[in-house]
Structure 1
Amino acid sequence: MDGWVGAWTGGRRAVHVGNVADFNEQFLLEPSSRRRLTVGRFTVGRFGAGRSAAEPSAAERRADRLRRAHHYAGLAVGYSPEPAALVLPAEVDRVWTDWLARELDWGPVELFDGIAPGGTVAEALAARPALVERLATGPEPVLFWGRTPDRGEGPELAAVRRYEAKDAAHGLFTALARHHPGVRVPRQEPADTPRAAARRLAARAAGGRATVLKSPHGVGGYGTVLVTPEEVSAAGGARRLLHRLVREDVLPSGGPLLLEEYVDGGPAGAGRLRDLTFDAVIGADGRVHPVGVGEMAVDGTRYQGVTVGPGVVPPGAAATAERFGLAVGERLAEAGHRGWYDVDFVTDRERRLAPTEANLRLTGPAIAFVLRHRLDQVRGPGHLVRTLDAMPLGARLSQEALHGHLGRLRPACAQLGATLLPLIVTAGHEPEPAVGLALAARSVEALDAAQALLGAAHHALGRMFEALR
């Protein structure tokens, strides 16, 4: 089988292992400083010495970090077009996999859930040799969110550690961009200490320039923040602003930072093209197979979801992103990477593409591309898919109550021409409850209408429970 599906699964059903927390943890401990760095949309930041009595302990922070990452691991349902088995760290009611199986025409799916309530998936599997044996000896390929040390050292892991770093990715982008018209790389400068970062940030603010501050590693927006000159002034200076961003867990403490040029995309409005992703798969033979280009929804610097499918991204921008993304993939393959990767872009006022980071693993957009492929396969071509990774709920819901809520919305979405697919269903009882969903339709208008319906219904939950008090 040719193409990315053949390179990814060989066209077979696969075992999906939700090891998001494991992937994040490998970046948490920096040997040189022995400080904690947090990676992941659902995680919290690292903290230096001098913890006050009101702050959580290191163990409490790790537990919170793991719990949030385990919620996001619910995306494991979409690693490949048809899972044979799911290995999930959190407990998931089978009604959700049954829902997806009906919509996506899956065969029977083995479910191994709730295996890692208080640790990583690797730690849990180490205590379950029978499950490890099942995964290792079965006929299906085993797919992970990302490569981790427990799967062995080697060039693949070395490539992940190298190019997941935003400064290394920036260097690669800079080397390639000269051969790609329509691509411009934002200027970036390193600051080895907080004092150096504050000094350079102050100078940039004095010149009227906005700055994107980045920690070397980060996922889903953590460790990346846009700072304007007005914000520096309002905080009483760059040093005070940096201290506040650390206290608020927006940035890590103590380590190096990158100061990157803010690429102005012009005024927001209808038709504005801003945040793009190009996804591809590097096969075992090192060949790069394009998957597609999607338009991401980003709130500030935090990824919220993506829309993929025909016509979503204008042909010219899609072609530019693909050409550059394939060139990046060829270099990643030379470095030893195998499997999924993506390149994220923002656009400037001239609609040139500015690459901002590479991810050598699965991501939220990868799930949208996989779902679109499966729907086209079982229902005919032409689907658009939109993922909504963390839609707020107006009230805390158990999985049973959430299933009832979404079950009532399912036919309403269908009437609008949209198929509702539940993805992240374990975060409904968090202090800030949320649910991760996908919508599939054959027009952007149907997606927009269904998303508006869902948002209003989620918000109305709060009013409903207030009326019961």
Structure 2
Amino acid sequence: MDGWVGAWTGGRAAVHIGNVADFNAQFFAPGMDAAQRARRLRQAHHYACLAVCYSPEPALLVLPAEVDREWTDWLARELDWGPVEVHSGVAGGRTMAEALADRPLLAARIADSGRPVVSWGRTAGQDEGPELAAVRRYESKAAAHELFAALAPEHPGITVPEQERPDGRRRAARRLTARAARGLTTVLKSPHGVGGYGTIVVEPADLFAAGGGGSLLRRLVRSELLPSQGELLLEQFIDPGPAARLRDLTYDAVVGPDGTVHRVGAGAMDVAGTRYQGVTVGPGAVPRAAAETARGFALAVGERLAAEGYRGWYDVDFVTDRQRRLAPTEINLRLTGPAAAFMLRERLDRVRGPGHVVRTVDAMPLGARLAPEALHDHLDRLRPRCARLGVTLLPLIPTAGHDPEPAVGVALAGPDAEALDAAQALLTAANHALTGMFEALR
């Protein structure tokens, strides 16, 4: 099979392992306390539900959090999967590697499955060769910036934000204050972070309201928005101006086993501040000119990654400036939230015909905490209402419905972005209306 699907799994149903927590943990900053580590592992275990979309068709699914079989049955019906063997509730408060070490029969089942095995990302428990070295190098936003600067002169339409690497946090605080005094907004970054963690947009008014750069950094650490130790990067803020609708773009690709780079596609991300919320992919999601610019640069990045030994999924994220140039901001050498949308689009186009536009929304707030059965029933009532809009509703993250801040992750698939907008508005209103369930008890 040609193309990215062939390079990824050979077009075969695969074993999916939700090791998001394992991947993230290898980049935890020194000084993270046990309570914060536990919170980050729990968040990662929710996000690992996206393992259901680590390829277009799972055969065996291993999840850290407990899920009901009704969830995977729903997806299997809509996506025309064969039988899916599900092992959930595996990890609890541990990483997947720690959990599998205590489950030798499950580990053997995975090893002896005879199927491709895919996971969120490469970790130290796997091959310690050039692939992992490339991950550790280019997951750094400092190393990625150096690569962007080296490649950009050959790519019209690409502009690289200026980046400073102050020597120590006191120097970083002074530089932040000096930039604010000149009226400059700064993107403050930890070299490693996921989903927006460790990246903060600092406007001059925010810095002065906090009492200066040092006070602001201490506040961000207390709020768990920045790690307490380690290097900080100061990056030029890119003002989107009239291009704000296309503020955040991504381009995903796959480096195949032989080092060939295979394009997957461009997506329009939904980013609140610096926190990734979801993505829209498919026909018309990204204007052709922007998609072509992103593709050319992202494939050049992939060629460099391949030359250094990396194999697997990656993406390059961009922001758009006032001249509609694309500014690359980071490389993710792993699966991504957008990857799930591309997997769903590929599967739906294959089993229902081409032309699907897919949107993932990773954490739609719920107006009440719901047990798994109640959340399933709530979404099931919304399924036919979405269908009347021409949209297929696919629940992707069903494990956070009973959290202190309850939420659900979903995908919506339909003919165009307008239909998805209507379905998303319907879901938002219905989720908010759940607050009324308990009004009579007040």
1:72 aligned partner, one-letter code: Y
- Establish whether residue 461 from structure 1 lines up as the match of residue 434 from structure 2: yes
- Establish whether residue 323 from structure 1 lines up as the match of residue 323 from structure 2: no
Deviation of 1:394 after TM superposition, in Å, equals: 0.6
Q: Corresponding residue for 2:247?
A: 274
Alignment of 1:129-168 (within 5 A): 129-168=104-143
CA distance in structure 1 between the aligned counterparts of 2:249 and 2:213, rounded to whole angstroms: 30
Q: Corresponding residue for 1:101?
A: 76
Q: Corresponding residue for 1:426?
A: 399
Task: List alignment gaps of at least 5 residues for structure 2.
Answer: none
- Establish whether residue 249 from structure 1 lines up as the match of residue 249 from structure 2: no
Post-superposition CA distance 1:277-313 (Å, at most 9, x none):
0000000000000000000000000000000001111
CA distance in structure 2 between the aligned counterparts of 1:28 and 1:203, rounded to whole angstroms: 29
SS in 2 for 1:322: helix
SS in 2 for 1:466: helix
Tell whether the 8 Å contact from 2:251 to 2:316 is kept in structure 1 after alignment.
yes
- Establish whether residue 88 from structure 1 lines up as the match of residue 88 from structure 2: no
Match of 2:275 among 287, 302, 307: 302
Q: Number of matched residues?
A: 442
Q: Corresponding residue for 1:338?
A: 311
CA distance in structure 2 between the aligned counterparts of 1:445 and 1:103, rounded to whole angstroms: 21
CA distance in structure 2 between the aligned counterparts of 1:275 and 1:124, rounded to whole angstroms: 36
- Establish whether residue 79 from structure 1 lines up as the match of residue 54 from structure 2: yes
Q: Corresponding residue for 1:217?
A: 192
2:408 aligned partner, one-letter code: V
Q: Corresponding residue for 2:27?
A: 27
1:424 aligned partner, one-letter code: I
Alignment of 1:15-414 (within 5 A): 15-28=15-28, 35-36=30-31, 46=32, 58-267=33-242, 272-414=245-387
CA distance in structure 1 between the aligned counterparts of 2:440 and 2:78, rounded to whole angstroms: 35
2:13 aligned partner, one-letter code: R
CA distance in structure 2 between the aligned counterparts of 1:448 and 1:61, rounded to whole angstroms: 35
SS in 1 for 2:246: coil
CA distance in structure 2 between the aligned counterparts of 1:267 and 1:182, rounded to whole angstroms: 17
CA distance in structure 1 between the aligned counterparts of 2:285 and 2:127, rounded to whole angstroms: 39
Post-superposition CA distance 1:139-163 (Å, at most 9, x none):
2100010000111311010000000
Post-superposition CA distance 1:195-237 (Å, at most 9, x none):
0111100111111110000001000000000001111121121
Tell whether the 8 Å contact from 2:243 to 2:321 is kept in structure 1 after alignment.
no
Tell whether the 8 Å contact from 1:193 to 1:254 is kept in structure 2 after alignment.
no
CA distance in structure 1 between the aligned counterparts of 2:167 and 2:257, rounded to whole angstroms: 37
CA distance in structure 2 between the aligned counterparts of 1:78 and 1:284, rounded to whole angstroms: 21
Q: Corresponding residue for 1:9?
A: 9
Post-superposition CA distance 1:231-256 (Å, at most 9, x none):
11211211111111111111111321
Tell whether the 8 Å contact from 1:105 to 1:378 is kept in structure 2 after alignment.
yes
Query: Which TM-score applies when normalising by structure 2?
Result: 0.98
Post-superposition CA distance 1:366-419 (Å, at most 9, x none):
000010000000000000000000111111011100001000000000011100
Tell whether the 8 Å contact from 2:7 to 2:255 is kept in structure 1 after alignment.
yes
SS in 2 for 1:150: coil
CA distance in structure 2 between the aligned counterparts of 1:84 and 1:3, rounded to whole angstroms: 21
CA distance in structure 1 between the aligned counterparts of 2:89 and 2:229, rounded to whole angstroms: 35
Tell whether the 8 Å contact from 2:21 to 2:41 is kept in structure 1 after alignment.
yes
Tell whether the 8 Å contact from 1:83 to 1:109 is kept in structure 2 after alignment.
yes
Deviation of 1:267 after TM superposition, in Å, equals: 4.6
CA change 1:102–1:92 in 2 (3 A) is: same
Task: List alignment gaps of at least 5 residues for structure 1.
Answer: 30-34, 37-45, 47-57
Deviation of 1:468 after TM superposition, in Å, equals: 4.1
Deviation of 1:463 after TM superposition, in Å, equals: 2.0
SS in 2 for 1:15: strand
Query: Which TM-score applies when normalising by structure 1?
Result: 0.93
1:144 aligned partner, one-letter code: S
1:419 aligned partner, one-letter code: T
CA RMSD of aligned residues (A): 1.0
SS in 2 for 1:191: coil
Tell whether the 8 Å contact from 1:294 to 1:309 is kept in structure 2 after alignment.
yes
2:19 aligned partner, one-letter code: N
SS in 1 for 2:154: coil
SS in 2 for 1:74: helix
Q: Corresponding residue for 1:55?
A: none
CA distance in structure 1 between the aligned counterparts of 2:415 and 2:103, rounded to whole angstroms: 44
1:89 aligned partner, one-letter code: P
Deviation of 1:464 after TM superposition, in Å, equals: 2.2
Deviation of 1:62 after TM superposition, in Å, equals: 2.5
Tell whether the 8 Å contact from 1:391 to 1:434 is kept in structure 2 after alignment.
yes
1:435 aligned partner, one-letter code: V
Tell whether the 8 Å contact from 1:192 to 1:255 is kept in structure 2 after alignment.
no
Deviation of 1:194 after TM superposition, in Å, equals: 1.4
CA distance in structure 1 between the aligned counterparts of 2:243 and 2:210, rounded to whole angstroms: 26
2:127 aligned partner, one-letter code: G
Greater Cα shift, 130-139 or 371-380: 130-139
Post-superposition CA distance 1:324-346 (Å, at most 9, x none):
00000000111111100000000
CA distance in structure 2 between the aligned counterparts of 1:25 and 1:228, rounded to whole angstroms: 30
Tell whether the 8 Å contact from 1:73 to 1:89 is kept in structure 2 after alignment.
yes
Tell whether the 8 Å contact from 1:388 to 1:437 is kept in structure 2 after alignment.
yes
Tell whether the 8 Å contact from 2:164 to 2:235 is kept in structure 1 after alignment.
yes
